[in-house]
Amino acid sequence: MVQHNPGMRDTKMKTTKRIRAEFILCALMLLGAPGGRAADKYRVYLGTAGTLENEGVFRSVLDGRTGQLSQPELAVAALRPGVITIHPAGTHLYTIGKPAGYKGPRSGSVCAYKIDRDSGSLTLLNYEETKGQGPCYLQIDHQRRNILVCHYMSGNISVLPIAADGSVRPVSCVQQHSGSSQNPIRQDRPHPHSVTLDAADR
């Protein structure tokens, strides 16, 4: 016999309402250990795409031995930073989306943040438009000079140079894709999802 608990559904609904932001992409950064020992903890950054009151990039710590993730804390408020990537040097973090408080028209853009290596907090350096709609992927080239942005909706890929201080510069190149495929509903135009570079950054 299964007994229905009338309070169970209400509890689930209340729990769901408390979870305002959806964590959709994360990036890991190794936390240094004293004395040169191998670190067993990793700083985790989580991009979000949720309600305005909880949007931003969150930080947490992953215990490599137990697999336990600490309670996420807000590293910086931002608007829909659903895709993030960390510079190979571990000094800067880049996201799609806009800075907190942005009130202008919706358009693709990349934000550059400086990472505080001690606390993990993020400081906004700048942001630049990406000349496309629906940015969905970020890739830093092997020479660490440029960041490439895929746009799912407009079907193009943009290149933004990375300045010496880690900020992003205006778009230097845009590659527009063309063509279609069999499904007229979702394949009527190109929808690039990612960029993969070879060792020569081609």
**pLDDT digit string (tens) for 131-165?**
999 899 999 999 999 999 999 888 899 999 999 99
Q: Mapping DSSP to helix (H, G, I), strand (E, B) and coil, where does residue 147 land?
A: strand
Mean pLDDT is lowest, of 86-95, 149-158, 185-194, for 185-194
Strand partners for 84: 95
Q: Exposed, middle or buried by CB within 10 Å (0-12, 13-18, 19+), for 50?
A: middle
- The predicted pLDDT at position 104 comes to 80
> Where do the domains of the chain lie?
22-176
Task: Determine the Cα–Cα distance for residues 94 and 147; give it in Å rounded to an integer.
Answer: 9
The distance of Cα 179 from the centroid of its chain, to the nearest Å, equals 28
Q: Mapping DSSP to helix (H, G, I), strand (E, B) and coil, where does residue 5 land?
A: coil
| Residue 152 DSSP class | T
CATH superfamily for 22-176 is YVTN repeat-like/Quinoprotein amine dehydrogenase (2.130.10.10)
Res. 190: pLDDT tops 60? yes
Cβ atoms 122, 75 nearer than 8 A = yes
CB < 8 Å & 24+ apart, contacts of 69-78? 69/44, 72/23, 72/46, 75/45, 75/120, 75/121, 75/122, 76/100, 76/113, 76/121, 76/122, 76/123, 76/124, 78/111
Of 47, 42, 44, residue with least CA distance to 25: 47
> What is the residue type of 152?
Y
**Tokens standing for residue 66:** 């137990």
| Residue 153 DSSP class | T
How far, in Å, are 23, 80, 160 from residue 47 at the CA level?
Answer: 6, 8, 20
Q: Mapping DSSP to helix (H, G, I), strand (E, B) and coil, where does residue 149 land?
A: strand
* Model pLDDT for residues 102-134, shown as the tens digit of each residue: 888 878 999 999 999 888 999 999 999 999 998
Overall average pLDDT of the 162-187 stretch? 88
> Between these two residues, 6 and 150, which has the higher pLDDT value?
150
